[in-house]
Amino acid sequence: MSEKILLSGVRFHGYHGLTRMEREVGGRYSIDLELTYDYSKAIASDRIADTLDYRKVHKIVQEIGREESFQLIEALAGRIVAAIFEQFPVEEIFIRVRKETPVLDGIVESVGVELRRRRQQSST
């Protein structure tokens, strides 16, 4: 299946990282998602009920990113993927998580991870 729903640059302030400063002060994060989903029914009907409502996916990302806390952005990525699989009938998820304010010496734009999971691999 090559049909995908894309959400790019979903940003939030979160409390993820190994350092005390990251977990208390927080930092900026950015998430990109590709959700493989059969939306052929929505093409024919032009009804939101026949597709995956990306507003709901956005809400999940924001809630997990803002309200939960992880030491590793790998764990953050896995938690978001698991929540999407729990709530939506997507076949595959690709997620990119970027920490836009990494605690590193010098100037670094961001650090990040990518994760791709098919439904049968959803346990992370």
**CATH number of the domain that 60 lies in?**
3.30.1130.10
Confidence category of residue 120, pLDDT binned at 50, 70, 90:
confident
3-state secondary structure of 104: coil
pLDDT per residue as tens digits for the range 38-86: 999 999 999 999 999 999 999 999 999 999 999 999 999 999 999 999 9
- The pLDDT of residue 104: 85
Q: Which domain holds residue 92?
A: 4-121
Looking at the structure of the chain, the number of domains it has is 1
The set of catalytic residues is 99
The answer to whether 114 and 94 are in contact (CB under 8 A) is yes
Q: pTM for the whole thing?
A: 0.92
Q: What is the mean pLDDT of residues 87-111?
A: 93
Q: Please report, rounded to a whole number, the percentage of residues in the chain having pLDDT higher than 90.
A: 86
